[in-house]
Chain A
């Protein structure tokens, strides 16, 4: 799954802002609390899928990288703080939509991206996740994919 996430990210980021992550994909990341984090929950349209009754994608990015990526999305405009969160939310939305499409035929409804503040939208299973870290000239970011607690199928792979 991590290799697939790499492909998904590379495609999304090159289309959104004409960038490609640098090799290698596995890099040391700064402490999570130094990243701007955007969470995007998702729930199945009907019944349960491989992510159980839901899950979430978390996109964390160093502030300088977030500014650079959102500036690219805005054709060079200097993004405001709210633009950065908004733009990262849109990147998270694209990543999550593509990831679900790639990993499961079951349809899921995506929620609205939110900056991490307070409790998570629902209990997540930390052991059922894909984690990818990426390096760009301006910094690093990481993408994590969580299934809800109680999901019966592992998404690790």
Chain B
């Protein structure tokens, strides 16, 4: 079954890099949508049907952590992988507590693939 993915990052170059890397995961990809900040990403999650969201932290308007908090408050149960340079222990602990996987930038294709595969468990 195709996997619908949302990529939320304020860098268009990074969104294209992530999109290309997703093509290496072995996932059968369905619709891939992009959003340039957390606010736009949240609106996409509210109105779309996504199986996975890849989210940056530092973004204008609404950062990734605020977006995830809003998603949890609104019970929007889309699995999230944070892809960010924001790798402080406090942040990673917060993400783990919210059931969010973390991939540090700069990511390798293998690192991103591993995180996505873990999110989907044996369902790939």
Contact = CB atoms under 8 A, between A and B. Distances in A.
A15 B86 contact: no
Given A89-B11, A107-B91, A98 B17 contact: no
B88 A107 contact: yes
Interface residues of A, number: 27
Contacts of B16: 74, 77
A93 B85 contact: yes
A94 B83 CA distance: 11
A70 to B, nearest CB: 6
Given A74-B16, A83-B13, A90-B13, A112 B60 contact: yes
B58 A111 contact: yes
Contact of A86 (B12, B20, B108): B12
A16 to B, nearest CB: 5
B89 to A, nearest CB: 9
Contact of B106 (A15, A77, A107): A15
Contact of B88 (A11, A75, A94, A101): A101
A97 interface: yes
A103 B80 CA distance: 29
Given A15-B106, A94-B106, A96-B85, A112 B17 contact: no
A106 to B, nearest CB: 9
By secondary structure, the A interface counts as helix
B10 to A, nearest CB: 7
A156 interface: no
Contacts of B90: 107
Contacts of A1: none
A69 to B, nearest CB: 11
A138 interface: no
B17 A97 contact: no
Interface of B: 10-14, 16-17, 20, 58-60, 84-88, 90-91, 105-108
The 10 tightest CB contacts between A and B, nearest first, are A97-B85, A15-B106, A87-B13, A107-B88, A90-B11, A16-B106, A86-B13, A110-B58, A94-B106, A90-B14
Interface of A: 11-12, 15-16, 70, 73-75, 77, 79, 82-83, 86-87, 89-90, 93-94, 96-98, 101, 107, 109-112
Given A86-B11, A93-B85, A101-B88, 17 more contacts: A11-B106, A12-B106, A15-B107, A70-B13, A74-B16, A74-B17, A82-B12, A83-B13, A87-B13, A90-B11, A90-B13, A93-B58, A97-B84, A107-B88, A110-B58, A110-B86, A112-B58
